[in-house]
Amino acid sequence: MKKNKCIAELIEDIHSESVSRIRSAARLMTMAEESSLKTVEILSALVNDSMPRIILGITGAPGSGKSLLTGRLIAEFRKRYPKRMIGVIAVDPSSPFSGGAILGDRIRMMSEKDADNEKVFIRSLATHGQIGGVTKGTRAITAIMGALGCDVVLIETVGVGQMEFAVREVSDAVAIILAPGQGDTIQFLKAGLMEIGDIFVVNKSDRPDASPFFAQLTNTLHLARNEKRPVLMTSALIGKGIGEFYDSVEELLFRDILWLKARRLKQTDVIVRRAILSEAEKRLHSLLHEEKRKEVVSDILKGKTSFSQTVEDLLKNCV
């Protein structure tokens, strides 16, 4: 009960003109990260606030230039809409050993001009052992950014491989950032990451091998006749192609408002379902503490109890 009130108080502060509204938003984000239950509580408390107009996922292999490119997009947005606010969620990995993390994406994101600008809000997150490239609090944090007044939110994932595509579940569109040297036709044909992209960006276009890489990628992606996903070239380093990249995001998302609404609704549905499942899992875990687990496992292995009966009993006790 007290915790609920706390969420409400923080939200009230975010809606006010107080000096601490940014701080309250940041605190609420920390709460959103604590558990899936809190994530849902915050989402439902913010249901009447407007979500950001655009939520763009930015993903790709480590070293493709995601952070620098995100920084360039911030600058492009600031140039076009100096009065509007932009939010960025940047995810970096947690240590599998200590649980700690170094979150250093901000370094490449802020031009000196924007570094103390109140219209740019950057939040770094650690993965906390979750796979998929983003974290469970991401959606609620996006909603909090919306409540703060962010028009656009960029979600930059950890550097990913072929199988991390959870960013799709929290964004309106996904930009896959590639760099020359990252594979050939066969890589582009594979299932997984390449399927979830809405926009493909070949970064590091200042490199001589960028053009052949771009041609190969375009050819492969456009093999299917109705395939129209845009493929672009950028150089985050020298700031080339950024305007075109931003244009294609806006274009993509304003084609079909109804589709966008449906997509967001479905995403929220998944998040709520996940929260219920994770709560069930937590309860199961607390039932199966270390000693109990040993006993249960040994009983099953020795044939004392049947596995299906054990599962049945455990699940009943959970409720």
Partner 1 sequence: MTENTEKKNPIRLLIGKVGLDGHTRGVQYVAHIFRDAGYEVIYPGLRKSPKQIVKMAIEEDVKAIGLSFLSGAHIPLISEIMDLLKDKKAEDILVFCGGVIPDDDILILKKMGVREVFTPGTSDKIIIEKVTALFADSSDEEK
Q: Which long-range contacts (CB under 8 A, 24 or more apart) does 169-172 make?
A: 169/134, 169/267, 169/270, 169/271, 170/55, 170/57, 170/134, 170/138, 170/139, 170/142, 170/267, 171/55, 171/56, 171/57, 172/54, 172/55, 172/56, 172/253, 172/260, 172/263, 172/264
- Is 20 a binder of partner 1 (CB under 8 A)? yes
Q: Which of 10, 11, 33, 138 binds partner 1 (CB under 8 A)?
A: 33
Cα(177)–Cα(179) distance, integer angstroms? 7
Q: Which of 6, 80, 81, 104 binds partner 1 (CB under 8 A)?
A: 104
Q: Which of residues 105-124 bind partner 1 (CB under 8 A)?
A: 106-107, 115-116, 118, 121-124
Cα(105)–Cα(146) distance, integer angstroms? 21
Site string for partner 1, 220-249 (x = CB under 8 A): ------------------------------
Closer to partner 1 by Cβ: residue 121 or 213:
121
Three-state SS at 201: strand
Place of tokens 């932009």: 86
Closer to partner 1 by Cβ: residue 243 or 272:
272
Name the residue among 110, 109, 119 with its Cα closest to residue 82. 119
- Is 291 a binder of partner 1 (CB under 8 A)? no
Q: Which of residues 146-175 bind partner 1 (CB under 8 A)?
A: none
- Is 72 a binder of partner 1 (CB under 8 A)? no
How many residues touch partner 1 under the rule CB under 8 A: the total is: 37
- Is 22 a binder of partner 1 (CB under 8 A)? yes
The answer to whether 297 and 305 are in contact (CB under 8 A) is no
Interface contacts to partner 1, rule CB under 8 A: 19-20, 22-23, 26-27, 29-30, 33-35, 94-95, 97-104, 106-107, 115-116, 118, 121-124, 126, 128, 279, 282-283, 285-286
